[in-house]
């Protein structure tokens, strides 16, 4: 039997939503054991959170740099670190662990700028270690099947890509919007960085298309808010494919509606994250087909991302766990001297692309919402 991979965590202490999501995900398939953490920069709070998670107090740290140094020197030190901090710490934390020879799992967006992303990419290349970015929506079974359908030519020549991500939690002013409302911690993008990057990555993942140009507009609907809470963009993909992308955190009453629609010369498909166990495939001139996660016709990519039998809902947490499981396979291969690359696991390349997307949208908005090139 293979032993669990030793993993550490930076950020995600008591009360942190995304930290708990990552902990559930890493435990789900029994591939990891959380053995060390820097859960807060305050030593007492870090220790209290570590004790609550049954982490040895001696392996609770208040400084991620100290953690990287100490764990790299241990015979039983961590092999992987999960970074679940505010955005401004992603790059420095990742750099510290990569330079210590430790593989990295990082929440999105990658960092604060395209330049910082490129620097981090160079650090990762020098270190020779693995890096995964947790764009979890791309790990839904039916999203992976949608990617297979597009790649097989089932839609014909692609024509349009529409992706919309709507939430309502910022519809009214909040007394405290946390780090996401602070440009120093979140970066220059609000809804753009928080959820539009998910929408962008999903469209790119399923279609495989590069964006060549875009025209975008950012809006802050709630007075006093320092970052955008709504963004929309027109996209010009390669091969003449046209796209629309929108993201809102002020859609009153909406919970978490991420929707993707792709049409081609032969058929269209539609996916709604709030109903993740079905995918609609509609051939031209024929009835719409409701494809289910475990139903007939779902290929290997979708089937391998499923855990439970047909009729049992599977979604957000399982998608996170699938990314962790995929990365575990790569880490185990690395330990055997093999580079088991994955075409479905988001990497630093996706992170750099996401930062370029943010900066291109900002550039278009500042230039009067005109068309700008999506260039390196």
Residue 325 has φ and ψ, to the nearest 5°, of -65, -45
Query: Is the CA virtual torsion 69, 34, 349, 195 positive or negative?
Result: negative
pTM: 0.95
Helix axes 90-99, 64-73, angle to 10 degrees: 20
Residue 281 has φ and ψ, to the nearest 5°, of -120, 120
Cα–Cα distance, 374 to 366 (Å, whole number): 15
What's domain 5-129's superfamily in CATH?
NAD(P)-binding Rossmann-like Domain (3.40.50.720)
Statement: residue 339 has pLDDT above 80? no
- Token pair for 29: 């398939």
Same-fold call for 5-129 versus 140-308+354-366 = no
Query: What's the whole-number average pLDDT of the chain?
Result: 95
**Length of the chain counted residue by residue:** 376
Statement: residue 196 has pLDDT above 60? yes
Torsion of CA 23, 92, 205, 276, to 10 degrees: 20
- Token pair for 159: 């024509």
CATH code at 140-308+354-366: 3.30.360.10
The domain ranges of the chain are 5-129, 140-308+354-366
Task: Render the burial of 299-329: b for 16+ CB within 10 Å, e for the rest.
Answer: eebbeebbeeeeeeebbbebbbbbbbbbbbe
pLDDT band at 317 (very low <50, low <70, confident <90, very high): very high
pLDDT tens column, 108-159: 999 999 999 999 999 999 999 999 999 999 999 999 999 999 999 999 999 9
- Token pair for 366: 């500042």
Cα–Cα distance, 158 to 19 (Å, whole number): 38
Cα–Cα distance, 130 to 123 (Å, whole number): 11
Statement: residue 376 has pLDDT above 70? no
Statement: residue 162 has pLDDT above 60? yes
pLDDT band at 343 (very low <50, low <70, confident <90, very high): confident
Cα–Cα distance, 268 to 104 (Å, whole number): 37
């Amino acid at each position: 039997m293979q032993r669990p991979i030793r993993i550490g965590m930076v950020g995600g202490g008591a009360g942190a939503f995304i930290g708990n999501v990552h902990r559930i995900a890493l435990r789900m398939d029994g591939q990891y054991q959380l053995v060390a953490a820097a859960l807060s920069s305050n030593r007492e709070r870090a220790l209290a959170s570590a004790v609550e998670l049954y982490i040895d107090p001696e392996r609770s740290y208040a400084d991620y740099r100290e953690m990287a140094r100490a764990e790299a020197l241990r015979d039983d030190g961590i092999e992987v670190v999960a970074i679940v901090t505010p955005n401004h710490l992603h790059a420095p934390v990742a750099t510290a662990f990569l330079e210590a020879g430790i593989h990295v799992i990082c929440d999105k967006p990658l960092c604060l700028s395209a330049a910082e992303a490129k620097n981090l990419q160079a650090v990762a290349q020098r270190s020779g270690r693995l890096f995964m970015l947790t764009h979890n929506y791309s790990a839904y079974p039916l999203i992976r099947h949608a990617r297979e359908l597009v790649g097989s030519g089932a839609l014909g020549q692609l024509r349009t890509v529409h992706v919309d991500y709507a939430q309502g939690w910022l519809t009214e002013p909040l007394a405290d919007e946390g780090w996401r409302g602070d440009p120093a911690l979140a970066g220059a993008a609000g809804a753009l960085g928080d959820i539009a990057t998910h929408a962008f990555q999903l469209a790119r993942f399923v279609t495989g298309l590069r964006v060549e140009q875009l025209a975008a507009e950012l809006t802050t609907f709630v007075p006093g808010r320092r970052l955008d809470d709504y963004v929309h963009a027109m996209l010009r993909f390669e091969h003449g494919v046209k796209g629309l992308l929108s993201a809102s955190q002020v859609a009153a009453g909406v919970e978490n509606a991420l929707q993707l629609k792709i049409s081609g010369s032969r058929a269209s498909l539609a996916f709604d994250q709030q109903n993740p166990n079905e995918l609609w495939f509609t051939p031209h001139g024929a009835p719409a087909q409701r494809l289910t996660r475990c139903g007939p016709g779902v290929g290997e990519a979708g089937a391998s991302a499923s855990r439970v039998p047909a009729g049992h809902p599977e979604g957000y947490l399982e998608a996170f766990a699938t990314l962790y499981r995929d990365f575990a396979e790569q880490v185990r291969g690395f330990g055997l001297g093999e580079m088991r690359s994955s075409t479905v696991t988001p990497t630093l390349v996706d992170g750099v692309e996401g930062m370029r997307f943010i900066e291109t949208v900002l550039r278009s908005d500042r230039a009067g919402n005109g068309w700008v090139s999506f260039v390196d």
